[in-house]
Amino acid sequence: MKSPLLLSATAALLALAACNSKPNSAEVLDSNPDPMANALANRGPVELPPAIKAEKTFRCKDNSLLYVTLFEGDKLALVKTSQTGTVNRLTAEKTGDPLVAEGGWKLTGDPKTITVTQPGKPSQSCKS
């Protein structure tokens, strides 16, 4: 008696399993499409900002201090005249050109020695 009952139960389970033979693939409907999807797909390549090359404090000939952040590529520097002062962004068109900013800022050099011209002051050399 056990085997016909076991056999009929197994057959019933197999029949139930065969009823749902569709794969479980959920259909995703996008009822709220991204309005910028087309613009994002057609945008140009993104250029990352340059990495920091050095952050230095320079002592200049007139005994003043400059706080300078130099970036890789030598096309960007951030200069402050005090630790909490205003940041002056100096840029160059290509590597090797002097870094300049509005107002008369001009900077050349490397992480050890720079030559800087500040608004209203003559050019002077500074060492880190």
* pLDDT per position as a tens digit, 43-99: 888 888 899 999 999 999 999 999 999 999 999 999 999 999 999 999 999 998 999
Let me know: does 99 contact 115? Beta carbons within 8 Å.
Answer: no
DSSP per-residue codes, 98-115: PEEETTTEEEEE-SSEEE
* pLDDT per position as a tens digit, 24-49: 667 777 777 888 888 888 888 888 88
Q: Is the pTM of this model over 0.75?
A: no
Query: Does residue 1 surpass a pLDDT of 60?
Result: no
Q: For residues 100 and 57, give the distance between their C-alpha atoms in angstroms, rounded to a whole number.
A: 19
Mean pLDDT value of segment 106-122: 94
Name the residue type at position 46. V
The residues, any chain, with a CB within 8 Å of residue 81's CB and separated by 6 or more, are: 64, 65, 66, 67, 118
Chain mean position to CA 73: 16
Let me know: does 105 contact 86? Beta carbons within 8 Å.
Answer: no
Report residue 87 as tokens: 């940041």
Q: Which of 75, 55, 68, 58 is nearest to 113 (CA)?
A: 58
Alpha helix ranges (H) inside the chain: 2-19, 37-41
